[in-house]
Structure 1
Amino acid sequence: MAPVRRVGGGARGRDRRHRRPLPHPWTYDLKPVVWLKELYVTEAARGMGVGHALVEQLRQHAIGIGASAIKWTVLKSNIPAKAFYRSLGGQPDEYLGIVATEIDP
């Protein structure tokens, strides 16, 4: 079950994640990487810190398993999502089409 952030008694956002048990071939540090598959916040709850809270929960999970990074993909046309991920310190990799943030516990 994905973590859910509740505001005012109702579910306002959730994330779907998975951790690959072995490092990816391009992971030079031999630590796991957490992939954020989806992040969704209801339109009514946007701007209330729900997305930031979900990503912070994910970051704490990543720290707990010793991950070196959280990575995710975002559509090139999704400008609001790109701005949100940049506000979290996400760095785009145009070559691979992913966004990543390094974990520094």
Structure 2
Amino acid sequence: RHILDCYKAYYTKIHGFAELCFLYNVWIHDREEWEGHCQGHIDYIAQFPIWVDPLVYDGVLAVAGFCECCLINPRLPASARMRQFPWRHTWYRHYQSHYE
């Protein structure tokens, strides 16, 4: 997570925007491109991984988490539906907010 935060800060400083797609392991440096990239995942939601909570192996973040409630909400923009949660506690709080 520390390395992720450092890269995100570095790329954001250079490009003004930076998001890492954990599913494809690619950095996107443009908001519109990110929205389109996320829409591509949404368009093929049937192929989306079943595992949606953050996956940490031996203390290392392997895959960010996603909110399945947001993923299936067509009223949200693609980037909001594809929000990635690198921290389990933020993912859990967000996920629980749907049920409160």
**Coarse TM-score class (shorter-chain normalised):** under 0.3
State TM-score, norm by structure 2: 0.27
Q: Which has the higher contact order (CA 8 A, sep 6+)?
A: 1
Greater helix fraction, Structure 1 or Structure 2: 2
